[in-house]
Amino acid sequence: MAAEICLSTESNFMNNNVLMRYLDAVKWFGLRKFFWIIRLQIIELKELLINSGLLYPSYQQSLMKRSMSRALIELYNGDDGHQVNHTQFFLGFGLIHYAFVRNLKPENILVIGSRKGYIPATLARACKDNRKGHIDFVDAGYGQDEPSKHWSGIGFWKKENIKKHFSRIGVQHYITTHVMRSAVYAKKFPKKRYQYIYIDGDHSYRGVKDDWRLFWPKLDRGGFISFHDVVARGYLDKGLFGVWRLWKEIDKKHAIIFPFPKESGLGIIQKI
């Protein structure tokens, strides 16, 4: 009888011990699940704050992040002429410009022309990630009702809240937009100097040659000037492409060309 009581007591003890271990396991699993839920929420909140420009992380922010690449392409009209990928959100030529600015760390950048701001926004993001530099963005804002003046222009900069537009990725403090012709801008700011210049405005031979003559002297030695559509030929909006002619004429001893996509291309020259 005593043996039976002893066995019964031992069995109850073992059952209780197993039960406690089971309850501890359930508790631990619940805590782990709660921990991962909270962690994921914090990560998502952090991404939201970074992309909105309200938070700058201690590490160097990278455009490799899918959310930022997607915002640049979709909000600022990254298109096939810049070699972008709309399903994988690959930035194409945007990554080339971004890499130049991240490495050069220029104080002043000039951008001539952009339909909705893809390259200006990308360069401004590079300045923000550097915590250094500023973009002067110049576009006349011509639209479809001025076919003799514009090159695929949509009149965007004359009707858009520009500061709000660039604030969508938190770069509004790194860019100043001048809605005017490039010749007017050059006359208004004759003493400005730049370390990086991007030309994508008037694509006619005469127009792009004028921009070359105006802004090449304003580029510091060691700096870079780049041209979009260096292989584009034919007509666009009743205008004849002429960037390829200028590219053929100028000294390209210190030049790089990306002759793709075949309807656009990108050319970069360093001033030595």
Show the domains of the chain with their CATH numbers.
66-270 (3.40.50.150)
| 22 contact partners, CB below 8 Å, separation of at least 6 | none
**Which phi and psi angles does 201 have, rounded to 5°?**
-105, -110
Beta-bridged to residue 269, according to DSSP, are 225, 255
Q: Which two tokens stand for residue 70?
A: 């997607």
Q: How much is the pTM?
A: 0.77
Per-residue pLDDT of the chain (272 residues; tens, 9 = 90+): 544 444 454 455 455 666 666 656 656 666 667 667 777 778 788 777 766 656 655 444 455 688 899 999 999 999 999 999 998 899 999 999 999 999 999 999 999 999 999 999 999 999 999 999 999 999 999 987 776 666 778 899 999 999 999 999 999 999 999 999 999 999 999 999 999 999 999 999 999 999 999 999 999 999 999 999 999 998 877 689 999 999 999 988 899 999 999 889 999 999 99
What are the strands, taking DSSP E only, across the chain?
108-112, 134-138, 175-178, 194-199, 219-228, 235-236, 239-240, 255-258, 266-270
